[in-house]
Amino acid sequence: MRQAGRYLPEFRSIRKDNQDFIKLCLNTKLSSEITLQPIIRFNFDAAIVFSDILLIPHALGQQVNFKKDFGPELQKIDFEIFNNVRKEDFLEKLNPVYEIIKETKNKLSIDNKDTIGFVGAPWTLLLYMLNRKSPKEGNFNVFQKDRNIHNILDKLDEFLKIHIEEQIKSGASIIQIFDSWAGLLPEKDLEFFSYKPIKSLVDFIRQKKSISICFPRNINNYKKFVENVNPDVINIDYNIDPLIIRDTIDITVQGGLDPKILLQNKDIMRDEVTKYLKTFDKKRYIFNLGHGVLPNTDPDMVKYLVDVVRSFNGQ
């Protein structure tokens, strides 16, 4: 959950000299270094490659920029380019990502740690590509009748699988699927926009003998998602009651802790972390956050969190 990023001074030092975020993600040397920064500092059990879900529209010919204090800004899709993207060109654009994974895997193999690759879910990518900016409250355009939706979803399914396969070939032993904006979907649209497209990716990952983690953020019914999509692991957000998850879901659960807890004092954080560990003590559970580490988080709090998790004995 954004292990590497703005809360780490070593990351800010690199970012200061590399203002173009897409170029930084595609800089093999620097992105591999960034991927390993939190492993070196905190000795996490796995590394998630430093990249971005919007590299997919970038590789499909849509211009993507990241503006300070605004977030991603995408140009209108040029369907002449989009409809004629070749696999070879797509892979060439994203080759640095695969080199990052290879380099990271090589450095982690000594300690037997996993390298996690990831993709954005088709719905979340579709939303960015058509809305052309982050669909936060107040700037989410309804476009269900857009005639290009089926075309875009088909193309995303094809090229996300290409990207997933290449990440697995390069050494990613797990693929996480981030449906960051699943919570914007009304119940009636979840089947078409979320369940079916993600299940297609999950089935593909399983065919490739790899492991899938799904994070459909802010949905109301995780049980229904799991029943429809059948991932290996379900990553929960911090708005859902963990007791409901414990009592209704049988597969491995990951995450849940509100990242804002890391902005509190150590006693409060220890109590909240312990609550999750006790809740899932008899279940298959991977401790993680329910969203990304916030930029103003003190790295010492992350270190303390790791110590609390590692010292937990079920009492």
Asked if residue 177 and residue 51 are part of one domain, the reply reads yes
- Asked which of 236, 260, 289 is the last residue of a domain, the reply is 236
- Quick one: pLDDT at residue 145? 58
Asked if residue 208 and residue 71 are part of one domain, the reply reads yes
Neighbours of 22 (CB within 10 A): 16
State in Å, rounded, how far the first CA of the chain is from the last one. Answer: 27
- Quick one: pLDDT at residue 313? 82
Global pTM?
0.95
Query: Where in the sequence is the domain holding 33, given as residue range(s)?
Result: 9-236
Asked if residue 224 and residue 248 are part of one domain, the reply reads no
pLDDT tens per residue across span 38-84: 999 999 999 999 999 999 999 999 999 988 777 899 999 999 999 99
How does strand 114-120 pair with strand 174-179? Answer: parallel
Using pLDDT thresholds of 50, 70 and 90, give the confidence band for residue 253.
Answer: very high
User: What is the rounded average pLDDT of the residues 240-249?
Assistant: 97
Asked if residue 124 and residue 78 are part of one domain, the reply reads yes
In CATH, what number is assigned to the domain containing residue 75? Answer: 3.20.20.210
Asked if residue 264 and residue 228 are part of one domain, the reply reads no
Query: Would you say residue 11 has pLDDT above 60?
Result: yes
CA distance 281 to 312: 10
Domain assignment present for residue 65? The answer is yes
- Asked which of 205, 236, 267 is the last residue of a domain, the reply is 236
pLDDT tens per residue across span 198-211: 999 999 999 999 99
Asked if residue 311 and residue 178 are part of one domain, the reply reads no
- Of 106, 1, 110, which is closest to residue 48 (Cα–Cα)? 1
Q: Higher-confidence residue: 141 or 23?
A: 23
Range with the lowest mean pLDDT among 1-5, 141-145, 207-211, 228-232? 141-145
Using pLDDT thresholds of 50, 70 and 90, give the confidence band for residue 112.
Answer: confident
- Quick one: pLDDT at residue 235? 98
- Quick one: pLDDT at residue 138? 47
Asked if residue 151 and residue 94 are part of one domain, the reply reads yes
Asked if residue 142 and residue 282 are part of one domain, the reply reads no
Query: Would you say residue 178 has pLDDT above 80?
Result: yes
- Asked which of 220, 236, 252 is the last residue of a domain, the reply is 236
pLDDT tens per residue across span 276-309: 999 999 999 999 999 999 999 999 999 999 999 9
Asked if residue 198 and residue 72 are part of one domain, the reply reads yes
- Quick one: pLDDT at residue 1? 67
Asked if residue 28 and residue 159 are part of one domain, the reply reads yes
Query: Would you say residue 96 has pLDDT above 80?
Result: yes
User: What is the rounded average pLDDT of the residues 260-280?
Assistant: 97
Domain assignment present for residue 3? The answer is no
Max intra-chain CA distance, the chain: 61
Question: DSSP label at 260?
Answer: G
Domain assignment present for residue 1? The answer is no
- Quick one: pLDDT at residue 143? 57
pLDDT tens per residue across span 145-161: 567 899 999 999 999 99
CA distance 306 to 42: 7
Total domains present in the chain: 2
Asked if residue 177 and residue 149 are part of one domain, the reply reads yes
- Of 230, 143, 225, 211, which is closest to residue 182 (Cα–Cα)? 225
Contact assessment for residue 190 and residue 221, using Cβ atoms and an 8 Å cutoff: no
User: What percent of the chain has a predicted confidence (pLDDT) above 90?
Assistant: 84
